[in-house]
Amino acid sequence: MAVSNGNCFICGKTAGKTAIKNHILKEHDGDGEDCWLFKAEGAYNKDYWLFFTVPINAAFSAVDDFLRDIWCECCGHLSAFSIGRNEFDMSEKLSSLCEGDVILYEYDFGSTTEIILTVVDEISRTKQREKVRLLARNAPLRIECDRCGAPAVCADVMKYDNLCAECAKKVDDDGMLLPVTNSPRFGECDYEGNYDIWTFDPDKPFPQPQKPTRTLPKRY
């Protein structure tokens, strides 16, 4: 499987990013509420990608909540959406966007994770309670241990090394190890993917997971 392959969370199809986008627009544009189809990619590693829908009359805060849950949240850092110098208010409606807009999302202004959002197209979906519906996501990337080449399970935050289970045992300070996560925030701050409930399992049907139950960290 090529690294950037992923899965459709409606029917399970496996394909690359562009093929999945075309597949969604062809097969999963239904009737119901008018939504934007968004693509999200890691700004520095576009092998991390998502496609999701959000009602056009929802606010930016709905997308913020979702990106925090699936990719970003560690300790309640600040976040922002912007196009060039224009920063959006979190309460602003997504209806101010246009097809083709490219938006920068930043989470944490210390060790920042940057995500590029593209407004792909308008799409309809069956009405649902959750504002955001995940439609597709990249399969977990193959990350190698920097010491021996075996599949990595964690990152040594102090040394910027990715480590397999064996090599991790030889590290003294295990408080500085962070698990491998399917996120562009892997290895940053205290990010452990605690709120990411969207793991693809080909052996199960693909119900939309409910929002993770959690106590939000205080935002500062």
Q: Which span sits near Zn ion by CB under 5 A: 31-39, 42-50, 66-74, 82-90?
A: 66-74
Among 3, 83, 102, 148, binds Zn ion (CB under 5 A): 148
Q: Which residues have a Cβ under 8 Å from the Cβ of 118 and sit 6 or more positions away?
A: 38, 39, 40, 41, 100, 101, 102, 103
Among 37, 58, 145, 157, binds Zn ion (CB under 5 A): 145
Residue placing its CB nearer to Zn ion in the complex, 10 or 59: 10
* Residue 75 near Zn ion by CB under 5 A: yes
CA angle 1, 149, 74 (to 5 degrees): 80
Q: Which residues have a Cβ under 8 Å from the Cβ of 88 and sit 6 or more positions away?
A: 60, 80, 81, 82, 96, 103
How far is 15 from 23, CA to CA, in rounded Å? 9
* Residue 72 near Zn ion by CB under 5 A: no
* Residue 10 near Zn ion by CB under 5 A: yes
Q: Which span sits near Zn ion by CB under 5 A: 33-41, 56-64, 186-194, 195-203?
A: 186-194
Please name which of 36, 37, 39 lies closest in space to residue 4, comparing C-alpha atoms. 39
* Residue 8 near Zn ion by CB under 5 A: yes
**Residues within window 82-141 making contact with Zn ion, judged by CB under 5 A:** none
């939309």: which residue's tokens? 208
Which residue ranges make up the site for Zn ion (CB under 5 A)? 8, 10-11, 13, 74-75, 145, 147-148, 150, 164, 167, 189-190
